[in-house]
Structures are given as C-alpha cells and as structure tokens.
Structure 1
Amino acid sequence: MSDRIPVQLVETFAPAHPQKMKAKSTDSLIHTRSFTGLFRTLRVSGAGFLFLAFFGTVWLNWGDRQAVLWDLAESKFHIFGATFWPQDFILLSALLIICAFGLFAITVFAGRVWCGYTCPQSSFTWLFMWCEKVTEGERNQRIKLQAAPWNLNKLFRRSAKHTLWLVISVLTGLTFVGYFTPIRPLTEALLSWQIGGASLFWVLFFSGATYLNAGWLREAVCMHMCPYARFQSVMFDRDTLTISYDAARGERRGPRKRDVKAADAGLGDCIDCYLCVQVCPTGIDIRDGLQMECIGCAACIDACDSIMDKMGYPRGLVSYTSEHQLQGGKTHLLRPRLIGYSAVLLVMIGALVAALVERPMVSLDVTKDRGMFRENSDGLIENIYSLKVINKTQQRQDYRLELVDADGFQLQGKTRISLAPGEITDVPVSVAMTADKPSSSSQTISFKVTDEDQPAIHTVANSRFVAPLNR
C-alpha cells in the first residue's frame, strides 16, 4: 500500500501520584469537593434566580386566575395578561426554533455553558450535592461514611440526606404540575389527601424523575442520556471558547514547596494537586484534554485558580480559551458560523416579536357543511358554514360578521355576537349566491369578524363556495 497515515509521536508525562488518578472513590460514586470562586458564584446566582422563577412564578396571581397556567381542560395558556390558544401554537414553534439557534450560537461561541450554568439537570444535581454536604459532611467524610459499616450515625445521615432529596423532589413535582393545574387547589388537595388520581400520578412521576435523575443518575444523564453531549463536538471550531488545560505551561507536573520556583525544579506550573478532578461533577481530569463528559461548569477553573494564588503563580492554567490561543495564536470571535447563527437568531426573534404584536385578539375558524350546495326558498344557491369565534381578550367584546370582497354573495344568519373574555362560540350561517351565473364551480370566499368598538381587532378566514355551472 502506497498511502500511509502519518503517525506523530506525542510525549506524555507520568503523574507524580499514580494512586490519585481515580476520580471516583472505591464505591464508584463521584464525591465532589467544596470550593469557591468566580464561576461558582455566577453559577449559584444564576441557578438561584432560575429556582426562584420556577418555584415562585406558579404562585403569582393575575386578577382572579393564576398568572402562568397551561389550562389543558380549556385548551388555553395564560401568561400574565396574555392568553394563547391552540391556534397560536405556531408561536410556540417559533420560540423553540429561537431556543435551538440560541443554543447553537452559544455553543459555537463558548461550548457547553448551557449545561454548566442553566441546564435543569446540572442545577438540580448541584442542589442535591449540597444536600449531601449538609447531611454527610465534606468529600473525605462522605467517602469514609460510604465505606463504613451500617450503624446509627450512618443511618441517621443517610436518612437525613434522602429526606431532603424527597422534599425537594416532591416540591418540584408539585410545582411542575401546578403550571398545568391551579397550584393552590392542587396543594390543598394533596395536603388533605383528596387529590385526584391523574394529578397524583403526575406529581409522583415528576417527583420520582427528579429524585432519580438528580440523586442517583447525575453525571450518567449528561454522559449517556443527553444527546447534546454527542453532537456538541461537530459545532466546535478552533476558536470556540472551551475549558482547557494549558499543557505547555503546566507540564511537567509535580509537587514542590511553595518557595521553590517551578523552573528551578524542572517542572511546570501544575503541582498535580488533583483538586481539579475532585471538584468535577462528572469526575474527569481536564488535563487529559477536551472530553465529551465535560459539561463546562468551570469548577476546575475555580479550583486551579485557588491553587495558583497560593503558589504565587499566574491564574489561567485551566481557563476558558480556544485551540488557536493555546497554540499561541489569537481567538477570532467573529467568524462565519457564529455570525450566521446569530443573524438567524435575531431574525427569528424579530419575527416572533412582530407576530406577538400583530397577533389577532379574535380568532375565526370556518368549517363548511359536508353538503355540496342547496337551493333556498328564493331560488338562490347557498352553502352552509359553521363559524367558530374566540374572544382572546380579557374583556367582553361585541363582534360583527361579514363577507369581504364578496360581490355576488350574501351572508345570511346571525351577524352580531357578544362574547365574554375567553369565550368560544359556534355561529351557523349560510351564504347565498346572488349572481346570475357562477364564474366557476368552486370559488374562494372570505369571512371577516370585527370588533364593534375597536375595528383594529379583526381577522379574516377563507373557505370555498360550491355551485353548479349549469342551472
């Protein structure tokens, strides 16, 4: 064979403490170490805001109803002063597309920051890990407790941990279901043991999912179940900001006294303290390079920076950086892929805002009777229709029904209706053809519903009028 794949010899460095290379304890569970730092503060602040929004918004009222409620029974979605109907679900599709392109753009720019800072799985996992720290102690204490035989101390600490986990899980399940069923009656029914079977099932389902995912599965969800971990690599380029270890600066690693300069000892800045691995929620060693399991939480950056401060070395041995920068080049922030995603994102946001502003506050659906046509008592050909009108406003409205650009056609039946806020009504009408002869056997006609007091509130719906060509 003439074509050969070139092989490059890469020098590797043996760790100074091989016995420390396991990221997990002997029980195969990841026990993270407590730490502080800038990125931890950002993550805790962001997660705190999201938890406050999730658990708090469901308890807000807007007038005589819950402020945010997806009312499945009535097929409408309330968001404070706005009410959305099934006819508005195209807006939900637009919102999902915006979220997708937003995720693409932020991934191209800074990797998996969504996973590390705002993903519900990561946020609840950090919360459950805090419960472990409160009930079972720091990392070394938890490892010792795991290996210890069962006794009263272990039973008490484990019971306290799982009690906290269950309380948080039940509150999460109750809150989630509360966005689909009014939260106050739901809570009262649950506390009085009079909750309905369907509601109880979903509360228990989401409680169990929270308890299982955040308490037991944890990093397994990120590594084996989340599809984002699989396709993220195809979105990275050499200018993507990812959490990286500067091997050129850190190697050769090894311990040394604080007053010994790294160059004098023939070592790099990495003292092989292993703290970056001990704080990692997925148990990886960032010094091995970018890995699928890395969720971009920057815990290793905070841990490494604290060690660099103690040693008197510059920060940034582990940092958000790009492959170009690691190789001595410059990170290019503006590049075609990022500009493309950002442009589409801005266009979609603009389109969604315009759609919300122009969204008709009255809905009209037209259903033609299955019969083809008929001749009325006046000898005119007529078709029968059912008009479904929905008042999407929060006030009672009076509407007028009419035909648009309907020369040769006449609307017959009820043309004035009054609807309460959110009311839906079906109006049967007929359309008679007054022209002597139809231009074709099937013609388009347009129905219009207009608010009597606010003509700007109106909408139009089309249907077909069928007539015989030979009479």
Structure 2
Amino acid sequence: MEHQKIDIKNIPVHVEVHKPESAKAAAYNPRDRIYVRAVKGLHQAIRRYMGFVFMGLFMLLPWLTFDGHQAILLNITEQKFNIFGLTLWPQDFTILAWIFIIAAYALFFITAFYGRVWCGYLCPQSVWTFIFIWFEEKIQGTRNQRMKLDADPWSASKFLKKAATHFCWLAFSLLTALIFVGYFTPVDKLFIEFFTFQSGFWAVVTVLFFTLCTYGNAGWMREIMCTHICPYARFQSAMFDKDTFTVTYDEKRGENRGPRSRKDKDYKEKGLGDCIDCNLCVQVCPTGIDIRNGLQYECINCGACIDACDDTMTKMGYPTGLISYTTEHSLNGKPTRILRPKLVGYLFILIAVCAAFAWTLYSRVPLEMNIIRDRGALYRETNDGLVENTYTLSISNKSQHSAVFNLSVNNVPGLRWIGPEQVTLLGGETTSVPVSLALDPDSTDAHSLEMTFTVQQQGDTGVQLQQSTTFFLGH
C-alpha cells in the first residue's frame, strides 16, 4: 500500500505580550477620605437620642450594684456570669444560646420590615463613628474647614488641631475599653488599679487592645468596617423584598436633576425634576454613597440624606419626601404589604424563641447534683451481712446566696443512710458529699433497685432537685 504524504503548512502565530503596569501605576490607591457634613433633622435627632440612651446604659451598667455585688459581671475566669439576681454557669449555656437566637431573629425581623436601621441607629460601629466625627467637628470645624485644613501645609495650628483630635479619640477609646473590660472584671477595682499602675499584665494588655481597636475602627476604618468587613452588610439583601422600608430616592419625581433658583417655578417645563443636584445627600452620608444611584449595600439606613434633602426641599418650597423611607411597591404605585409571609415567619419564630427562653428561665433550678458511684466496686458486704453501695454526691449551689440543703433518698424499707444528711453551701460553691446506702439482701429478690436522691433547700424557697441511680444487691 502506497503511503500518501500530507503537506504541512507553517502558520505564523503572533503572540502579543502584555507587560505589567509600572509599580507606580499598579500601586494600591487608598480610599479617599469621607468628610461627613453635619445635618439636623428628625431622623438624626432620633439617632442621637437613641445613641445617648444606649451609650449611657453601656457606661453606667457596670457601676450598678445589686444585693452587695456588681449587678452585671461576666467573670470568665470563674466561669460565672452574674446578671443582677441571676447567676449563669457553663451548664446554663442554653440560656445564653436563647439570648443570641432572640437577638438574631429580632435583627432579621427588623431588617425585613425597616431595612438596616440597626446599622444606622444602634450599631456600636456607627455610634462610635458619629462620636468621633463630633470630636472632629468641634476641634477642626465644619466639613469645608476640615477639607481645607487637610489641604493646607503643616503648621503649628494644624498640628495642634490634629493632635487634640487624636488625643480625644484615644481618651474616649480608653474610656470605652475600661468600661467594656469592666463587664468582665470588677470595674471599680479595674479603674483604680489601672490609673495607679497596679493592674496585672493581662488586664493592661486587654484594655490597650480594645483601646486600639476602638481608635482604629471609629477613627480610621469607619465605613470600611461596614462595606468590607461586617458580614451583615453582605447578606442583608437576602432579607429584603419589595415591601421592605429602605432609604430610597424617588427617581420619577427627582429626575432630571439640575440647579435652578428658588424663584424658578417653571422648572418642570424645562424638563427638570425636583432634585436640584445640590449633592448634600452625598456629603452627609457616612459611607460616602449617592443614594440617587439606587439601593446599595453600603447604605446603613441612618436617614441622614433624608434630613438633608427635606431641608433643601423646604427651602425651595417643594414637598418633602424626595428621599424617604419607602418601599419599592410604593414607588411603583402598588400597595405595600406589611403582613407578609416572610415578616410573619420571622415574628412567629421570634415569639417562639422568646417563649422558650422564658420557660427555660422559669424552670431553671439554681442547684445542681451529680451522683458518682464508687469506682472500686459496685457493692460490698458488711460484717453485719448487709449489702452496701457507696456514692459521692457533687452538689453545686448556683444561686448568689448561701443556703442549707437537706439530703435524702426515697423510702425503701430497711435502707440505712450512712453519711451527712445536711450540707451548707455558699453562693456559687460546690462540694462533694460521700454517702453509703446499706440494705439487707434478704429483704428483696431483685438484683438491683432504683434509688432517687433528693436535695432540698431549707426554707420556703421550694428549691428541690432529684436524681436517680441504681443500688446493686449482688444476687
């Protein structure tokens, strides 16, 4: 068979090599600083008042006393959380779990109904950021003055203003850190030892760590925490729908944008909308977005742009509400459904977990008992011919007060109790009580008996705990 040759053609291929950009061109450009403009209005007044209330609670709660001790003390070292008259131990983890679940579903419910108002009004990151901005305004001046100050060359005046600002930031951050750490250690002792240089190593490290965190987050990172680090900003859209109230710009009414004088009443004939393109909504935004571009995940629903726009509309003689808390359905002329499956579902789950939390608190017994059998032998025979079982009762008083507890076992004919029948425990104390039970083996044909130990507090408290165990006879 004759082989046929295949002609091969050389096809020139041009490979274009893309050289990387120069280091200067590829360098990372840090974000432009956001100079937040001060604004007054209904929503900002609500935000400030709510911030004052919750900031006051944060600052004052560690200093409150209840029944002779710090009202709220989350002592991680001793694994004991005192919350007024309630003491929680590691065994009470379900109560803490219910608290976190309630907080989560409350957040989901509020977000589905009114957007990210938690972020704009009560989130610690936002509250502390607005406080730091307030320091800037008082020391460096208004937005335009701060921009001019940063653009000016360094001088003694600029240095003093910058130094005073950062000093106030650091001082407030230190106060915040001391108060926060005061929730986990006696706060009065912490303040005295810290400022008299008597604090331990870990106390100093912890306070300085949270000081730097507060200073960095509220002073430097600010909106970066909301837009790049906080996970809530990313998954919030999963809880939004067309009936969620969010800060929204009415595009149909506002467009086309354009400046005009207050006396110009024929602006609509020129094709202009109500938006005069003053950009105040952008200047007052703490995350630096333009709400007129539509819903953006950076928006924290603080309402600052609403107050700024309403003020402008009032000055122009236009109706307010060009930017407002509204829904997508409302903007499209459709009715807003308040009661909808998603919102009702969140509310139902929230009520259910609140009920479970209340029942857990109500049924909680401030007492714990563990029965430990003798590991050496299940039973042994005494010189009197009785069968004896030995136990160790580990009893914990989970209340904040000392109490006397009576120990007993269910009534079995002929059963002998060998050991203490009463024990006194301080608040939070745990003790081990050795107990032996003896029984005549001829009194029953059973190989084993179910025994129930009872620990009952003396008095009218009604605190009682029972636990079952097995008594072996060895037949």
> TM-score under structure 1 normalisation?
0.88
Shift of residue 84, structure 1, vs aligned partner: 2.3
Instruction: Report which stretch shifted further, 254-263 or 269-278.
Output: 254-263
1:126 aligned partner, one-letter code:
F
Corresponding residue for residue 140 of structure 2: 136
Structure 1 residue 230: deviation in Å? 0.9
Residue range with higher mean Cα deviation, 73-82 or 126-135: 73-82
Aligned residue in 1 for 2:457: 451
Q: What displacement does 1:58 show?
A: 1.0
The reply to whether residue 196 of structure 1 matches residue 200 of structure 2 is yes
Partner of 1:10: none
The 10-residue stretch of structure 1 (224-233 or 453-462) with the greater mean CA deviation from structure 2: 453-462
- 244-253 or 420-429: bigger deviation: 420-429
Q: Distance in 2 between matches of 1:407 and 1:233?
A: 68
Partner residue, 1:50: 54
Q: Does the C-alpha gap of structure 1 residues 454 and 304 become closer, same or farther in structure 2, counting only changes over 3 Å?
A: same
1:279 corresponds in structure 2 to 284
Question: Residue 66 of structure 1: CA displacement?
Answer: 1.4
The CA deviation string for residues 253-310 of structure 1, in whole angstroms up to 9 with x for no partner, is 1111112133233211111110001000000001111111111111111111111111
Query: Does structure 1 conserve the Cα–Cα contact (< 8 Å) formed by 2:98 and 2:357?
Result: yes
AA aligned opposite 1:322 = T
> Does structure 1 residue 106 correspond to structure 2 residue 110?
yes
| SS across alignment from 1:264 | helix
**1:400/1:331 Cα in 2 relative to 1: closer, same or farther (>3 Å)?**
same
Matches within 5 A, 1:256-335: 256-261=260-265, 262-335=267-340
CA contact (8 A) 2:450 2:471 kept: no
Rounded Cα–Cα distance in structure 2 between residues aligned with 1:80 and 1:62: 6
Which deviates more, 355-364 or 100-109? 355-364
Query: Partner residue of 2:425?
Result: 419
CA distance in 1, matches of 2:447, 2:325: 68
1:35 aligns to what?
39
What's the offset of the Cα at 1:440?
Answer: 6.7
Residue number in structure 1 paired with 2:403:
397
Q: Is 1:325–1:331's contact at 8 Å kept on the other side of the alignment?
A: yes
Pair 31,401 (structure 1): closer, same or farther in 2 beyond 3 Å: same
Deviation at 1:87, TM superposition (A): 2.2
CA separation of 1:244 and 1:413: change in aligned 2, threshold 3 A: same
Which of 64, 70, 88 is the aligned partner of 1:66? 70
Cα pair 2:385 2:440 within 8 Å, conserved: no
Structure 2 residue identity aligned to 1:419: L
- 2:403/2:427 contact within 8 Å kept: yes
- Partner secondary structure for residue 470 of structure 2: strand
Contact 2:387 2:441 in 1 (8 A): no
Distance 1:367 1:295 in 2: 55
Matches of residues 148-227 of structure 1 in structure 2 within 5 Å? 148-227=152-231
Moved more, 261-270 or 161-170: 261-270
Question: Residues 172, 382 of structure 1: CA spacing in aligned structure 2 closer, same or farther, 3 A cutoff?
Answer: farther
Is the contact between residue 373 and residue 381 of structure 1 (CA under 8 Å) also seen in structure 2? no
Matched, 1:252 2:252: no
**Relative to structure 1, is the Cα distance of residues 108 and 382 closer, same or farther in structure 2, using a 3 angstrom cutoff?**
farther
Query: CA 1:413 to 1:317, structure 2 compared with 1: closer, same or farther past 3 Å?
Result: same
Q: For 2:369, what is the secondary structure of its paired residue?
A: strand
Give the CA deviation at 1:395.
3.7
Q: Which has the larger radius of gyration?
A: 2
> Residues 410 and 434 of structure 1 are in contact (CA less than 8 Å); yes or no, is this contact kept in structure 2?
no
Question: What one-letter code is carried by the residue in structure 2 that aligns with 1:348?
Answer: V
Alignment of 1:322-401 (within 5 A): 322-377=327-382, 378-401=384-407
In structure 2, C-alpha distance between the alignment counterparts of 1:389 and 1:207, rounded to whole Å: 41
1:255–1:271 contact (8 Å) kept in structure 2: yes
Q: Which consecutive unaligned segments of at least 5 residues does structure 1 have? A: 1-25
Distance 1:455 1:252, change over 3 A: closer
Percent pairwise identity: 46
Q: CA RMSD in A?
A: 2.3
Q: How many residues are paired up? A: 444
Could you tell me how far 1:405 is from its partner in structure 2? 7.6
CA pair 459-272 structure 1, distance change in 2 beyond 3 A: same
Q: 2:237 aligns with which of 233, 236, 252?
A: 233
Aligned residue identity for 1:251:
E
Contact map agreement 1:394 1:421 (CA 8 A) in 2: yes
Change (3 A) 1:392 1:268: same
Post-superposition CA distance 1:321-353 (Å, at most 9, x none): 111111111110001111111111112112222
The aligned residue for residue 7 of structure 2 is none
Q: CA deviation at 1:216?
A: 0.7
Q: Give, in whole Å, the separation in 1 of the partners of 2:233 and 2:340.
A: 23
Please state whether the residue corresponding to 1:70 is helix, strand or coil. strand
1:432 and 1:189 map into 2 onto residues whose CA distance is: 56
Q: Alpha-carbon deviation of 1:414?
A: 1.8
